[in-house]
Structure 1
Amino acid sequence: MRDPGRRAVLAAAGAAALAACTPAPPSPSRATTAPEGTTAPPGPAPSSAPSASGGTGGMRRTAGTGTPRVVATVAEGLDTPWSIAFLPGGPVLVTERGTGRILALSPSGAVREAGRITVRAGAGEGGLLGLEPAPSFARDGTVFAYATAEQSNRVMALRWDGSALGGERVLVDGIPAAAVHNGGRLKVGPDGMLYIGAGDAGQRQLAQDRASLAGKILRVAPDGSPAPGNPFGNRTFTYGHRNVQGLAWDSRGRMWASEFGPDRDDELNLITAGSQYGWPGVTGAAVQGGSVPAAHVWPSTADASPSALAILDDVAYVACLRGQRLWRVPLPGAGFAPDGGGSLPGATEHFRGEYGRLRDVVVVPAEFRGTGAPGAWPDADLWLATNEGDGSRILAVAL
């Protein structure tokens, strides 16, 4: 079924149609993979510069109601997209997990291949995953990518030449890979370092091994080396994680992460350097051996299975796979510390079952906010990637 919010329709209808557009109900879900998530000292002082595709914390972008609503379909007919990356100056790139393709999107709705990375065949939840522009992108065109190779997951640097990505160079190798729990999210933090969500690859004991790259949030310099000031002198920033797939920062520079639970207790965690987050000993808001309890817990994975996280105006937006919805979670103020309660007030769900499994959610940078004129990007605050096999779409969401 064609979505009435399609870019071509919007271009013809102009600004009035964009404001009034209500997308049609989606076709029945066609997910082709098993749902995932079913079975210390403070960090460095942040700067004020946001990640190119991460959250902008408290920056006000819209005078809307705060209630998410889909206003356009940016692109459709994709094959299981995993990560959306806005390149400063354009275009917008999207990774496809199984094909290894990196796609470039245009405001007209056109999609073209801008690069391809060879990924391990039959990688399950692995494949081509995270994508993120480097802090040096404006100078040298560097883009980071996370992919499953034959023996492991790895982080690579690619070079954007103005029309395509190439020049693949490995920065971090040896992140354990498996059919499940590959992590894969990449975000550049306010400190200019690269943060990597690495799953436990089904080897749960590795999550507590601070020397292992599995079950961690890793923090590396742009060349892939351990970032200065890391708590253990290696790439490990925090440990005791099962499968982190969402990373973002709020206006106070606090880092947050969304994480799959096993058959219960999906988590939204407040991240502090050197801390351990309980897996595999405990999940959710439980505490064991000095672990940090989750700030917010979804006891049933049917309600969440969170794959991605974006923060805007100090509100977390969590894209969910099995839960097939977008959670809106207002974040607490200064001085908050998780106390084991596992519930943040004001959390609301949106789009439940309307668009299928939601894989990625990103804040739209100002330069990609459209005016409603023909040929412009949609005027939206967030973009969502749906995870419905070859029926996947990128949706524009206004607040």
Structure 2
Amino acid sequence: MMPAIPRRSFLALLGAATTAGAAALTGCTPMPVPRTGTSASAGAGSGGPGSVPRVTATVVDGLDTPWSIAFLPGGSALVSERNSGRILEVPAAGGTPREVARISVRTDTSEGGLLGLAPSPGFAEDGTLFAYYTAGTGNRVVALHWNGRTLGGEHVLVDGIPAAAIHNGGRLKVGPDGLLYIGTGDATRQSSAQDRGSLSGKVLRISADGAPAPGNPFGTRVYTYGHRNVQGLAWDSGGRLWASELGPDRDDELNLLTPGSQYGWPDVTGARSVNGSVPAVHVWPSTADASPSALAVVDDVAYVACLRGERLWRIPLPAPGTPVPSGGTLPGAAEFFRGQFGRLRDVAQVPGKRELWVATNEGTQSRILAVAI
């Protein structure tokens, strides 16, 4: 087990190696293992022939509340554990994960901890991994250095993102432009979502050194604002940025983001508009049907992992260059795996494959499932 990574300037090299640590995780050769006793390929909802997502394997079992899956060049993936602060490497073929870092995170929050991970666009050359976690002074985004076996040398890029027990955001994604996008929550300070001087309730866009990205709409790190708790970020084939967002007691949202726009919170939710806010493109009126966490877009189809809803939504997106329908309902939306695998936290496309990895949110018995699409 590595000691906690100190909060210091970026180091050129990692000086400590990982040693054997706490209780070993249960790894397994990929095989279908639905814990509920239902068929692994069964799911509510409908699709065309051959289009129904189906679980084909349990990639790894016995994880402790995984939050983010980040694939590396070569096929393995790094996985963050929210509560333990561990980053694990999971082999491409599944099996026993290996701890490669452990970050000291705040443990007195129900939604904070070690959250999003994202490799830099030049990871194969520079070995930079971005990570989002809850520290004592708030949420922060850091860069870590990968030496081929372990991670270390923490360098803080963004600090002081407001933190709270809930609404900490946490999603990191590198966009087609090579810049880092950061989803934050309002940290229960609702009015801060409308304050462009605050980092909470926003999507931020930064360069690799943490500076505001060139061309940002306000000359700051802020890209969009008026968000409650952004959980998923993904781009379609036309380069449009989509975000999944948790509503309060209603109106979970799938939003199409454009720079400088504001998305209504806390003044309005769903497909309505107030004071120039951009209405959601797709709305789940009942949070029991969704509570969306992560988002992946494959061939202009959105796949949304849901927490309270305990299901995976598949939503065909309007084709790039065509008008986006109003009214808050996209045609063809279908749900799968309702209640079969518990709460679903992350969904990520396996590079080069029509396959998703889906992380469940089942405490110390969480899994990563392989889903053929």
Class of the TM-score when normalised by the shorter of the 2 chains = 0.7 to 0.9
Which of 377, 380, 384 is 2:358 aligned to?
384
Total equivalences in the alignment:
337
What is aligned with 1:8?
29
SS of match in other structure, 1:8: strand
Once residues 37 and 220 of structure 2 are traced to their aligned partners in structure 1, the CA distance between those partners, rounded to angstroms, is 47
CA distance in 1, matches of 2:139, 2:51: 37
- 2:74 is matched with 89
Q: Give the equivalent residue in structure 2 for 1:46.
A: none
Q: Could you tell me which residue of structure 2 aligns to residue 118 of structure 1? A: 104
Name the structure 1 match of 2:5: none
> In 1, distance between residues paired with 2:37 and 2:105?
30
CA distance 1:353–1:108, shift in 2 (3 Å): closer
1:282-297 equivalence runs, <5 A: 282-297=268-283
TM superposition score normalised by structure 2: 0.87
The SS at the match of 2:29 is helix
Tell me the distance in 2 between the aligned counterparts of 1:296 and 1:108.
Answer: 34
Match of 1:24 in 2: 34
Query: How much has 1:336 moved relative to structure 2?
Result: 4.4
Which residue of 1 is the match for residue 151 of structure 2? 165
Percentage of pairs with the same residue? 68
Superposed CA offset, 1:235-284 (max 9, x none)? 00000000001000000000000000000000000010000000000000
What residue identity is the alignment partner of 1:396? A
Give distance in 2, aligned partners of 1:382 and 1:268.
Answer: 19
Q: Which amino acid aligns with 2:211?
A: S
Q: Which has the higher contact order (CA 8 A, sep 6+)?
A: 1
The equivalent position to 2:259 in structure 1, one of 273, 276, 281, is 273
Q: Which has the higher strand share?
A: 2
Report the 3-state secondary structure (helix = DSSP H, G, I; strand = E; otherwise coil) of the residue aligned with 2:288: helix
1:259 pairs with 2:245:
yes
Alpha carbons of structure 1 residues 389 and 283: separation in structure 2 relative to 1, 3 Å: same
C-alpha distance after superposition, 1:326-376 (max 9, x if no partner): 00000002344556400000000000000000000001102xx5xxxxxxx
- Paired residue for 2:62, among 74, 77, 93? 77
Amino acid at match of 1:216: K
Match of 1:230 in 2: 216
> Shift of the alpha carbon at 1:85?
0.6
2:30 touches 2:94 (CA, 8 Å); kept in 1? no
Amino acid in the other structure paired with 1:310: A
The answer as to whether partners of 2:237 and 2:320 remain within 8 angstroms in 1 is no
SS of match in other structure, 2:247 = coil
Letter in structure 2 aligned against 1:77: G
1:327 and 1:121 mapped to 2: Cα distance? 31
Cα deviation for residue 65 of structure 1 reads 1.7
Aligned to 1:310: 296
* Shift in Å, 1:23: 3.9
Q: For 1:110 and 1:9, locate their aligned partners in 2 and report how far apart those are by CA, in whole Å.
A: 11
Could you tell me whether the CA contact under 8 Å between 2:30 and 2:57 is conserved in 1? no
Return 5+ residue gaps in structure 2 as ranges: 1-26, 39-48
TM-score for the superposition, normalised by structure 1? 0.82
- Which amino acid in 1 is paired with 2:355? D
Counterparts of 2:337 and 2:62, CA distance in 1: 20
Structure 1 9/68 Cα, relative in aligned 2: closer, same or farther at 3 Å? closer
Report the residue type matching 2:112 in the other structure.
G
Q: 2:317 matched to 1:331?
A: yes
Residue 136 of structure 1, CA deviation: 2.1
Q: In angstroms, what is the RMSD of aligned CA positions?
A: 1.7
2:120 equivalent among 126, 134, 142: 134
Q: Check conservation: 1:293, 1:338, Cα contact below 8 A.
A: no
Structure 1 residue 101, shift from structure 2 partner: 0.3
Q: 1:27 to 1:212 in 2, by over 3 A?
A: farther
